[in-house]
Amino acid sequence: MRRVLIDTHIHLDAKAYADDWPAVLDRAVEAGVAHVVTPATTLESARRLLKMASEDDRVRPAVGVHPHEAGSWCAEQLAELSELVERAVAVGEIGLDFHYDFAAPEQQLCCLRAQLDVAREHSLPVILHCREAEESLYEELRRARLPAGGVVHCFTGGWEWAERFLELGYFLGITGMVTFPKLADIHEVARRIPLERLLLETDGPYLAPIPFRGKRNEPGYVPLIASRVAELRGVDSEQVARATSASANRLFARQ
């Protein structure tokens, strides 16, 4: 049986794909990856992705402002975002990043809260970025009570935080980092998470899995991530593919 996987997080509007993104998607389909969910980082990025989606139905866009860009967040952006989400499968990529601090924590919180409200109003799921900010993000999500839930993507917070986000009803995203040796925290999450709560993602263009580490990442590499997760859990990758794709289709059901 042919595997049908989904890349639930790739920045397909990144410069790295500007010249050949349709070919990148062709290679993905050949590798068994049916479509991709592409989160935006800014409203400009959101408009680019919506255009790409109108040209290619393998592109499922999410619309949102990344915490790195929260410094420029303002009321006009909120108005435009509320319009753009009508054509999106999720609100994202939103969240908190206290590692890089490109924007002040208060600005990040303000930007996140406004976008969680948009997700609630439109009953859309959220795609969440979280770096060294688990406690604050958890509190925001607990208060927000979003009807459609969402995913904490590229989860690196360790098993204790994983359990708490799972209790809140969120999915967790695992990237090609799971193929890197020594990342015991990520391996543990990949082993212990209920399979139906796991989503696979490349987070391209970065974080290419082994044996492509350091090169441009592509959605066609999702099978390598599925295989490594299957190996860690002692199941076959067919089972991982089926469960994670069913979850992705359920969460991003609008299109």
Please identify, using beta-carbon distances, which residue of 171 and 237 lies nearer to Zn ion: 171
Stretch 3-42: interaction string toward Zn ion, x if CB under 5 A: ----------------------------------------
Chain residues 112-141 in contact with Zn ion, contact rule CB under 5 A: 129
Residue nearest to Zn ion (CB): 129
CB under 8 Å to 94, separation ≥6 — which residues?
64, 65, 66, 67, 111, 112, 115, 116, 126, 127, 128, 129
- Buried/exposed 139-165: b ≥16 CB within 10 Å, e otherwise: ebbeebebebebbbbbbbbeeebbebb
Helical segments of 8-104, H only: 21-30, 43-55, 75-84
Stretch near Zn ion under the rule CB under 5 A, chosen from 92-100, 173-181, 192-200, 208-216: 92-100
Please identify, using beta-carbon distances, which residue of 93 and 148 lies nearer to Zn ion: 93
Work out how close the CB of 242 gets to Zn ion at its nearest, in angstroms, rounded to a whole number. 25
Please identify, using beta-carbon distances, which residue of 201 and 237 lies nearer to Zn ion: 201
CB under 8 Å to 250, separation ≥6 — which residues?
none
How many Å apart are CA 73 and CA 157, to the nearest integer? 26
Work out how close the CB of 162 gets to Zn ion at its nearest, in angstroms, rounded to a whole number. 16
Instruction: For residue 146, give the DSSP letter.
Output: -
Please identify, using beta-carbon distances, which residue of 58 and 129 lies nearer to Zn ion: 129
Please identify, using beta-carbon distances, which residue of 72 and 147 lies nearer to Zn ion: 72
Hey, what are 80's tokens? 């435009």
CB under 8 Å to 41, separation ≥6 — which residues?
11, 65, 66, 68, 69, 93
Stretch 176-205: interaction string toward Zn ion, x if CB under 5 A: ------------------------------
Work out how close the CB of 11 gets to Zn ion at its nearest, in angstroms, rounded to a whole number. 6
Interaction between residue 68 and Zn ion (CB under 5 A)? no
Work out how close the CB of 238 gets to Zn ion at its nearest, in angstroms, rounded to a whole number. 27
Work out how close the CB of 17 gets to Zn ion at its nearest, in angstroms, rounded to a whole number. 14
Dihedral over Cα of 233, 236, 241, 246: its sign: negative
How many Å apart are CA 13 and CA 21, to the nearest integer? 8
Sites of contact with Zn ion (CB under 5 A): 93, 129
